[in-house]
Each structure stands twice: as structure tokens, then as C-alpha cells.
Amino acid sequence: MTTTEYRKDEAAIARLTPNQYAVTQEAATEPAFRNQYWDSHERGLYVDVVSGEPLFASADKYDSGCGWPSFTRPIEGSGVVEKQDRTYGMLRTEVRSSGADSHLGHVFEDGPVAEGGLRYCINSAALRFVPLDELESRGYGAYRAMIETDTTTKGA
């Protein structure tokens, strides 16, 4: 939707909290049910905490019961990339932001079937939330229409 270049830089990394650093730079996982956005119901846009790259819309957030923010899909053109993850003796699909290469979480095939069947299980520490009424002032006005069409928030 935009031609802004999103990337990682030293100043952005220096602003991260220890938890944000561990999650985005070292692929850590924050505790379930003890993170900022797992139970958030506000309409808006979730962006990469490192680069500000738009990633997920509240319209695609739902309550999966897992204790982390869950989304049925990234926003179109977000650049969320998937990588094979073989840590802990499991085969999973890791999701990262394309611009800053931030670790976001994982995607699983146990999401709502009517919405495509995927569950993007994302660490709150990898995200910054931009409320609907602040989209324009923060430079994300192009995403307003996709968020305003959200009238259900899918229980999120």
C-alpha cells in the first residue's frame, strides 16, 4: 500500500526493551496470557516494533485461546515471510518481518477454517499497535479502510 522502506537500524534496536530484543532479535517467546496484546479488542494496525512495517490488522485478529495475539492472515503486501523452524525437535513455520527481519512468532494450520485455516500466533513484544484514530497522524492512513470494515473483531 505504501512505498516506505522498512528496515532495521541501530537506533531502533537500541530503543527495544530487553523482552522486545529477546523476541525480535533472538527468536524468544514471551509467556502466554502475560503479554500486551493477547486480549486486546481495540481496532487498529499492528506494526513491527523495530521498523514500523505494517503487519496485521485488527480485522484479522481473533481469540484463539492460546494466550498470544492470533491473526488469520497478515495484511496484504505486508512482507511477512515464513521460514522453516526446527528448534526444540519440532518442525514449525516461523514468521518474520521482511524489512527488519524481526522474529514475530509462528503460523499454524489450526485457525478458523472459514478464514483460511491459519493461525498466526504472534508475540506482543514484536508488535507496536497503532489505534484507528491515530493512523493518519502516524503515517498509516492508507490502511484505514481495511480496519474500518472490521465490525466484528472476531471475538478478539
**Residue 66 bears catalytic tag:** no
CB atoms within 10 A of CB 72: 20
CA 44 distance to own-chain centroid: 12
Name the residue among 51, 85, 56, 90 with its Cα closest to residue 73. 56
Q: List the grid coordinates of 48.
A: 513491527
* Set 107, 121, 126, 135: catalytic member: 121
Amino acid at residue number 41:
H
CA distances from 88 to 85, 91, 92, 94 (A): 9, 9, 10, 13
- Burial track 79-93 (b if 16+ CB lie within 10 A, e otherwise): bbeeeeeeeeeeebe
Q: Can you say whether the dihedral through the CA atoms of 36, 37, 40, 45 is positive or negative? A: positive
Which residues does the annotation mark as catalytic? 121
